[in-house]
Amino acid sequence: MTARLADIAAQAGVSEATVSRVLNGKPGVAAGTRQSVLAALDVLGYERPVRLRQRSAGLVGLITPELDNPIFPALAQVIGQALTRQGYTPVLATQTPGGSTEDELTEMLVERGVSGIIYVSGLHADTTADMHRYDQLRGQGVPYVLINGFSPKVQAPFVSPDDRAAMRLAVTHLAALGHTRIGLAVGPKRFVPVLRKIEGFRLGMRERLGLDAAAAEELIQHSLYTLEGGQAAAAALIERGCTAAVCASDMMALGAIRAARERGLRVPADVSVVGFDDSPLIAFTDPPLTTIRQPVQAMGQAAVRALLEEIGGTPAPHSEFVFMPELVVRGSTAAGPGGQRSSGKASSVRRTAGDEDQTDG
């Protein structure tokens, strides 16, 4: 018991005596301190005493695409933890090729009486999809929040990264390194995040390199959000003379590195590659990947807050909460033909040495 109390106290940042008071249900402990001790129990894997267990406030569905892309499990983890802290039980429903559709998963969750649903990169992001399905869901009294992909046809809270700003950050970084032939490897054009990335890419190319929309369009290659998709897109861009590629996901960026190496090109000496997401473990690739970091923690927590407000009867604003991404510079980008590394650092850029972040001043 002594060792256990010491572990819990260290995790919660309180004294062992305080832990003992909380576990024994004694008064005289601030609510915030009590919550810290209970959270420490959860983190360390200890079972809460029966009298301290929080009654479940209900189920909340989380519908995600396939989990092959590490960004989706990362979002699911943040959302699940935030829900659990509020007494809700997250129910993860994952779409897989040939498996259940979003509508089927929604129906399953509604039948199980969920208090609300969070959609990640769902049909709401597809400009060709029928948005009436979300009106029907609201008609059933089920609140929901949508992550990645805004539609003015859906009256609900949306949470998104600023895709336009992300592409401008990437283009600015590569242009500062002397690259003038910068390509964009991106997903199918019907998706809202893709359209926004294209807008940001065109704007960045015009601002930094003076290219008009038609010239920038020639440097855009659509593909799938997979390693193989990135490989195919990058191969096409390299054939067009691109010395740098901005990819719409980290998985695509890994494919781009493979495409370059298949052609005997070195990354970053011959071709620079920028990813998108800053997925877990991506800092440990060879070379460590320069990427745009999605603010996963902030986005996940905002989605949960908005949903709980809806569940609680205080509807969140039916608008879009947009979060600024961050450029994380690692080893997959370098000076382009005739270019020199910029000695300055933009405030929105985090430079890292391998996998170790260095805080900007």
pLDDT exceeds 70 at position 359:
no
Task: Give pLDDT tens digits for 119-161.
Answer: 999 999 999 999 999 999 988 889 999 999 999 999 999 999 9
**Dihedral (Cα; 185, 252, 269, 261), 10-degree rounding:** -110
Q: Considering only residues 66 and 296, tell me which one the structure prediction assigns the higher pLDDT.
A: 296
Decide if pLDDT at 242 tops 90.
yes
Burial class for 174, CB neighbours closer than 10 Å (0-12, 13-18, 19+): buried
* The pLDDT of residue 312: 86
Q: Do domains 2-52 and 58-161+296-323 have the same CATH topology?
A: no
| Predicted pLDDT at 342 | 42
Per-domain boundaries in the chain: 2-52, 58-161+296-323, 163-294+325-358
Tell me the CATH architecture of domain 58-161+296-323. Answer: 3-Layer(aba) Sandwich (3.40)
Query: How far, in Å, CA of 360 to CA of 338, rounded?
Result: 27
Residue 286 has pLDDT above 70, yes or no: yes
CA angle (208, 209, 214) in 5-degree steps:
120
The topology under which CATH files domain 163-294+325-358 is Rossmann fold (3.40.50)
pLDDT-derived band of residue 46, with 50, 70 and 90 as boundaries? confident
Which two structure tokens, joined as six digits, stand for 129? 């999809």
* Tokens representing residue 279 in the block: 């997925």
Of 39-43, 86-90, 296-300, the one with minimum mean pLDDT is: 39-43
> To the nearest whole number, what is the mean pLDDT of the chain?
88
In CATH terms, the superfamily for domain 2-52 is lambda repressor-like DNA-binding domains (1.10.260.40)
Q: Which of 109, 85, 81 is nearest to 95 (CA)?
A: 109
Q: Work out the pLDDT band at 63, boundaries 50, 70, 90.
A: very high
Over pLDDT 70: what percentage of the chain?
90
- 6-22 pLDDT, tens digit per residue, is 889 998 899 999 998 88
For residue 120, list its beta bridge partners. 147
Residues 335-344, buried b or exposed e (16+ Cβ, 10 A)? bbeebeeeee
pLDDT value of residue 361: 30
Higher per-residue pLDDT: 63 or 55: 63
Beta-sheet strand order (sheet of 326-329): 220-222, 182-186, 244-247, 272-277, 290-293, 326-329, 349-353, 356-358
In the chain, where does DSSP find H-type helix?
Answer: 2-12, 16-23, 31-44, 71-85, 102-111, 132-139, 163-176, 192-209, 213-217, 227-239, 250-262, 296-311
Band (pLDDT 50/70/90 cuts) for residue 343 is: very low
Q: In the structure, what pLDDT confidence band is assigned to residue 193 with cuts at 50, 70 and 90?
A: very high
pLDDT band (50, 70, 90) for residue 108 = very high
Q: Could you tell me what percent of the chain has a pLDDT over 90? A: 68
**In DSSP terms, which residues pair with 118 in a beta bridge?**
62, 145
Q: At what angle do helices 250-262 and 227-239 cross, to 10 degrees?
A: 50
